[in-house]
């Protein structure tokens, strides 16, 4: 019988290293091979920006690969230990030599395999929650970046309109100086104001370039190709009722991830507890004793857990469960506070934007028109015109900042609850 076991054992020892090498050291291509998404050169909408970011964002792709990698650990956790083939030679003389061939099979006890599978499954749940959390984060970043581009475009148009106003003021001052109705100092002030507006125009152009780059970077394109973002920056996000919004917090990806992490560590603790029970090894083989013939060999090996009962690893796992439980409570409190702050910001900025649009902007525009007309007819000095112009520009800039803050607060709420505020959003 040993004649057949000998080739089998040799084949097993020879083939196992080669198999392991071909499996573990699989060639991996070096360098960046991912294809970047290039947006169309015309304008893009928020829906298109979100779609490209969810398809091409590198961080999101990494989270997907991590979930897929952990999914493979579930398969590995369900595998049983490999058998072992052993051979033992006793004696140097052929007639008295004893040769023993054995096949040893470890048998796991204490539910180790089921505990490993459960722990791997809980790890996959955590990875999938991380993926959802990353997806919500990318959505929030894209929404904020998109409305920053819209805001920068409006700031550029505002700066261009402000330059026309400043040029108009300079022209009016120049005419009145030529007519001898005002001092040349008035014209100098007008030209200084025009120079300041030109600086603001240059800054607005730079801010738009930066905002476009940040938006395109969300889908992995370092050089933006789109000409403009298409949307209405003055469309304020909806404000849901607080009880409804607070109820949706329970489904937050970050909170879900903390729950799954607690479950994973509890499963890991069960794995460590299962290791207290030692495994047994069953041995079967054949023994050739010189010319005496062959004898069957059966064995059983049981470790005796006298000193090492895995008590240190069990205690560590239990303390990590306590830590995860504390982190879950801390995450719940933190997200509740962040959601309340974002909700208050959105509520405040909506009210502020409505006041600016309804009262302040029309009043500032009317005051500027009246001051300019009065200066042309000699009823006001140019300082009144500059003051009215500065008030109008500040009101418009404040309005744009308020709109940007409102959209940023709405994006933060989206990130926390993990879904759009209303069904109209993509």
What is the C-alpha to C-alpha distance for residues 85 and 379, in angstroms, rounded to an integer?
108
- Confidence class for position 292, pLDDT limits 50, 70, 90: low
Tens digit of each residue's pLDDT (9 = 90 or more) over 197-213: 889 889 999 999 999 99
The answer to whether the CB of 301 falls within 8 A of the CB of 281 is yes
10: left (phi over 0), alpha (psi -120 to 50) or beta: alpha
User: Is a pLDDT exceeding 90 seen at residue 95?
Assistant: no
Give 184's pLDDT tier (boundaries 50, 70, 90). confident
- Read off the tokens for 40: 């169309």
Radius of gyration of the chain from its Cα atoms, rounded to whole angstroms: 37
Between CA 284 and CA 413 the distance in angstroms is 65
Q: Determine the Cα angle at 370 with ends 381 and 372, to 5°.
A: 50
Looking at residue 35, its pLDDT comes to: 54
Cα 318 from Cα 270, distance rounded (Å): 9
Query: 368, 390 in Cβ contact below 8 A?
Result: no
Q: pLDDT (tens digit, 9 = 90+) per residue, 294-311?
A: 888 899 999 888 888 999
88-to-97, 101, 154, 155, 299 alpha-carbon distances in Å? 10, 7, 85, 85, 14
Tens digit of each residue's pLDDT (9 = 90 or more) over 339-382? 999 999 999 999 999 999 888 989 988 888 888 788 767 677 66
Element (H, E) at 376: helix 361-376
End-to-end CA distance of the chain: 71
Residue 160 above 80 pLDDT? yes
pLDDT at 131 over 80: yes
> What is the per-residue pLDDT for 23?
30
Q: Span 115-133, mean pLDDT?
A: 94
d(CA 335, CA 283): 57
177 — phi, psi (to 5°)?
-65, -40
Calpha distance 315→313 (Å, rounded): 5
- What structural domains and CATH numbers belong to the chain? 2-26+50-417 (1.20.1600.10)
pLDDT band at 253 (very low <50, low <70, confident <90, very high): very high
Helices (H) and strands (E) in the chain, counts: 10, 4
Backbone angles phi, psi at 232, to 5 degrees: -110, 110
Reported as a single tens digit per residue, the pLDDT across 319-339 is 999 999 999 999 999 999 999
pLDDT score, position 423: 42
Task: Give pLDDT tens digits for 272-286.
Answer: 999 999 999 999 999
């Amino acid at each position: 019988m040993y004649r057949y076991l000998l080739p089998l054992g040799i084949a097993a020892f020879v083939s196992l290293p080669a198999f392991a090498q071909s499996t573990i050291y699989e060639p991996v291509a070096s360098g960046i091979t991912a294809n970047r998404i290039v947006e169309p050169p015309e304008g893009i909408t928020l829906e298109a920006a979100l779609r490209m970011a969810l398809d091409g964002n590198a961080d999101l792709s990494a989270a997907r690969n991590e979930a897929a990698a952990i999914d493979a650990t579930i398969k590995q956790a369900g595998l049983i230990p490999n058998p072992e083939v052993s051979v033992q030679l006793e004696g140097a003389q052929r007639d008295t030599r004893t040769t023993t061939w054995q096949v040893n099979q470890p048998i796991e006890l204490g539910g180790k395999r089921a505990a490993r599978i459960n722990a791997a499954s809980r790890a996959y749940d955590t990875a999938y929650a991380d993926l959802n959390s990353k997806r919500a984060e990318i959505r929030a970043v894209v929404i904020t970046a998109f409305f920053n581009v819209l805001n920068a475009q409006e700031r550029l148009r505002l700066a261009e309109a402000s330059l026309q106003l400043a040029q108009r003021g300079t022209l009016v001052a120049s005419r009145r100086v030529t007519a001898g109705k005002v001092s040349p100092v008035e014209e100098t002030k007008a030209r200084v104001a025009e120079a300041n507006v030109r600086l603001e125009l240059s800054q607005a152009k730079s801010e738009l370039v930066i905002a476009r780059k940040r938006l395109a970077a969300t889908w992995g394109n370092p050089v933006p190709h789109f000409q403009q973002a298409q949307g209405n920056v003055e469309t304020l996000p909806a404000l849901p009722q607080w009880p409804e919004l607070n109820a949706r917090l329970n489904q937050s990806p970050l909170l879900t991830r903390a729950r799954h992490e607690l479950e994973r560590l509890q499963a890991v603790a069960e794995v460590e507890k299962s290791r207290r029970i030692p495994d047994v090894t069953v041995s079967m083989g054949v023994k050739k004793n010189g010319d005496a013939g062959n004898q069957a060999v059966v064995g059983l090996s049981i470790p005796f857990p006298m000193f090492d009962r895995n008590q240190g690893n069990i205690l560590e796992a239990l303390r990590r469960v306590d830590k995860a439980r504390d982190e879950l409570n801390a995450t719940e409190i933190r997200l509740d506070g962040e959601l309340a702050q974002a909700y208050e910001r959105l509520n405040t900025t909506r009210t502020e934007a409505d006041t600016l649009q309804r009262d302040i902007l029309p009043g500032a525009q009317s005051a500027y028109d009246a001051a300019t007309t009065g200066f042309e007819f000699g009823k006001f000095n140019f300082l009144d015109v500059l003051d009215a112009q500065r008030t109008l520009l500040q009101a418009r800039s404040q309005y744009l900042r308020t709109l940007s803050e409102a959209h940023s607060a709405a994006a933060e709420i989206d990130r926390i609850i993990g879904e759009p505020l209303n069904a109209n959003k993509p």
